[in-house]
Structure 1
Amino acid sequence: MENYFIESNAYNPWYNLAVEKYLADYVQKEEVILYLWQNQNTVVIGQNQNALRECRVQLLEAEGGYLARRSTGGGAVYQDLGNLCFTFVASEERYDVEEQLKIVMKACQKYGICSHFSGRNDLLTDDNRKFSGSAFSMTSRGKVQHGTLMINVDVNKLQRYLTPTQEKLKAKGIASVSSRVCNLQELNTGLTVDGMRAALRAAFEEQYGRCTELSLDMLNNDKIQEYYKMYSSWDWRYGRSPECETVYSHRFTWGEVEVNLKLHNLIISECKVYSDTLEVQFPNMLEGLLLNQRYDIQNIQIPEFHKADEELAKQLKETIMWFSGVWR
């Protein structure tokens, strides 16, 4: 039996998820790996979630943040450098969720923090506030449990990014379940992320025996680059969102516009526009521009118009500019 430990020194979620996938795809029989990592200013959504329902995506990205989609289920989480992510990768015969969570609980006990399991594979404080949640997956080689540890997360940003805008969105995805959350520093002000890293490694060795630390040099390979491209791609992060319907409306100086959309993998598959503008061609023209576009409408080209149609062109440009910001 072999026990391994590895830490990432990167804060990019797409890279860190790529490393996790690499470890899961290449774990050997009788092996268990503890992998620790952190993401900077990131919202991570579950594999089957609708990105637009879970997060103010454009606001997050405008402020330098990342949207990531993991390959496990569960809800959306906000992560920054006050959070520590842990992953247990194990061959099937060594995988044991209860034993793995005991390692996290032991690490917390080293700082005088008592905790218990909940029915959703979360860890709660004695007063039933959540500080850690886990999700799970499996490969042909083994199984994966990964989770978060809130040590000193910026809760204001958590609420800022994870609270969706009030739009008429009827989504078929899985909405995150709101939970009362707690930063562990509230229970022990001396706890730091580095301290928790050390405590987790110590608890891991207490549970399984001495471990070998894997070199970061092993992560410089083509497979991780391939996985990074997948996790960072628009198709993975947005295109896997479930089908949904959404309606937006806005009043301009020249009239009111209502845009009704049906999205499939966040591509506009159906579009109906209503307006009281005097430009009678406007609704049909806008529908033609939006149909089959990505929802972030990054590539819309407004055609050239005859001088007599300058007002129509102006209205289309104003509408496209407004619509490009509605999913902030």
Structure 2
Amino acid sequence: MSCSVPEKLEYIFRNHDVAKNGEALITWSNRPAVVFGRHQNPWLEVNLKYAKNNEISVARRHSGGGAVYHDEGNVNFSLLTTHQAHCRPRNLRFVSEALNNAYKLQRDDMELQPGNRKCSGTAARIAHGMAYHHFTLLVVANLKVLSASLNSPHKNLIETTATRSVRAPAVGFLAQDDQRVNVPSVTDVIVRSFCDKNQGAEVEVIDVGFEIENNADMRKIYDELCDWKWIYGKSPSFVYRKDDVAATVKNGIVVESTGSLNAGERFALD
């Protein structure tokens, strides 16, 4: 099982002292992956068969919010602050002003104009007096792959209280409007803007693979995030119905079933 989530972000969240060391901006890009929210259901949010056939990882993050598609054409930003200083509108204004071509609209998302094309989703985590607000920004995107990855064939067959993603009427990416932009250039602009706003800020490039192999705490976080119990078993309880099959699922395990699914086994669909 592969896992594609920012282990370093979770490690920093647990260990960085904002009051002592100041706010932090973390940026990264992932290999192709669908990353869904802490309180979501992967069978509902992800086309798992398509993801498997196209070597797209599936991951559950610690923060809430909806499902997003990541690849090397996205750049992800996380702003780590105290809970008291946490402010999504402020953060999105900062990014919008730095890029000068995307801006915040409803639901704390960013859209390109004209066309109200959503180019960034947003989520947050707050715990122990700390907070991070993070969002992915589409720079260069294959919208067909993005759409297919997030289009579960089972979405109308599942009853659950799990958080459902709200699909945007239109999706866009920065290179649609300016073919000169790329992930490194966008990252550089945001980092430089952050440093300008936070005099004395230091830039550090981290080899996450090296850290996972040599940092026991980060390895533990990585293993937790890649475990089936976290990715699938963490899903809120749900009922799946199709034709003669009806299954009640808790913690990813079938507890009651009629038809071809067996009680006591992990829930799985072709």
In the superposition, the TM-score normalised over structure 2's length comes to: 0.89
SS of residue matched to 2:265: coil
Would you say 1:169 and 2:186 are equivalent positions? no
CA contact (8 A) 2:110 2:120 kept: yes
From 33, 44, 49, the equivalent of 1:53 is 44
In the alignment, the residues of structure 2 paired with residue 93 and residue 243 of structure 1 have an alpha-carbon distance, to the nearest angstrom, of 33
From 104, 111, 118, the equivalent of 2:95 is 104
Q: For residue 37 of structure 1, what is the aligned residue in structure 2?
A: 28
The alpha-carbon deviation at position 69 of structure 1 amounts to 0.6
Q: For residue 6 of structure 1, what is the aligned residue in structure 2?
A: none
For the structure 1 residues 263 and 93, does the alpha-carbon distance in structure 2 shift closer, same or farther, using more than 3 Å as the test? closer
Matched residue count = 260
Would you say 1:131 and 2:119 are equivalent positions? yes
From 103, 115, 119, the equivalent of 2:106 is 119
Would you say 1:140 and 2:145 are equivalent positions? no
In the alignment, the residues of structure 2 paired with residue 215 and residue 126 of structure 1 have an alpha-carbon distance, to the nearest angstrom, of 33
In the superposition, the TM-score normalised over structure 1's length comes to: 0.74
The alpha-carbon deviation at position 94 of structure 1 amounts to 4.7
From 138, 157, 181, the equivalent of 2:171 is 181
Q: How does 1:163-242 map to 2 (within 5 A)?
A: 163-166=151-154, 168-179=157-168, 180-214=170-204, 216=206, 219=211, 220-242=214-236
Uncovered stretches (5+) of structure 1, i.e. residues with no partner:
1-10, 250-257, 274-285, 297-323
For the structure 1 residues 215 and 84, does the alpha-carbon distance in structure 2 shift closer, same or farther, using more than 3 Å as the test? closer
Q: For residue 266 of structure 1, what is the aligned residue in structure 2?
A: 252
The alpha-carbon deviation at position 186 of structure 1 amounts to 0.7
CA deviation string 1:96-122 (max 9, x = no partner) = 43332233112312xxx2x33223111
For the structure 1 residues 95 and 170, does the alpha-carbon distance in structure 2 shift closer, same or farther, using more than 3 Å as the test? closer
| 4+ long deviations beyond 4 Å | none
Q: 1:231 is aligned with what amino acid?
A: L
The alpha-carbon deviation at position 210 of structure 1 amounts to 3.5
CA contact (8 A) 2:121 2:137 kept: yes
CA contact (8 A) 2:48 2:152 kept: no
Q: For residue 301 of structure 1, what is the aligned residue in structure 2?
A: none
Uncovered stretches (5+) of structure 2, i.e. residues with no partner:
none
Q: 1:238 is aligned with what amino acid?
A: Y
In the alignment, the residues of structure 2 paired with residue 207 and residue 213 of structure 1 have an alpha-carbon distance, to the nearest angstrom, of 14
Q: 1:291 is aligned with what amino acid?
A: A
CA contact (8 A) 1:27 1:90 kept: no
SS of residue matched to 1:146: strand
The alpha-carbon deviation at position 12 of structure 1 amounts to 5.6
SS of residue matched to 1:181: coil
CA deviation string 1:72-116 (max 9, x = no partner) = 11111111111111111123455443332233112312xxx2x33
> Bigger radius of gyration, 1 or 2?
1
Q: 2:238 is aligned with what amino acid?
A: C
CA contact (8 A) 2:92 2:103 kept: no
CA contact (8 A) 1:267 1:294 kept: yes
CA contact (8 A) 1:13 1:66 kept: yes
CA contact (8 A) 1:262 1:270 kept: yes
CA deviation string 1:95-153 (max 9, x = no partner) = 443332233112312xxx2x332231111223322111211112325210110100112
For the structure 1 residues 269 and 86, does the alpha-carbon distance in structure 2 shift closer, same or farther, using more than 3 Å as the test? same
In the alignment, the residues of structure 1 paired with residue 166 and residue 192 of structure 2 have an alpha-carbon distance, to the nearest angstrom, of 32
For the structure 1 residues 176 and 96, does the alpha-carbon distance in structure 2 shift closer, same or farther, using more than 3 Å as the test? closer
For the structure 1 residues 217 and 189, does the alpha-carbon distance in structure 2 shift closer, same or farther, using more than 3 Å as the test? closer
CA deviation string 1:261-280 (max 9, x = no partner) = 1111221110113xxxxxxx
SS of residue matched to 2:159: strand
CA contact (8 A) 2:157 2:240 kept: yes
SS of residue matched to 1:194: helix
SS of residue matched to 1:170: strand
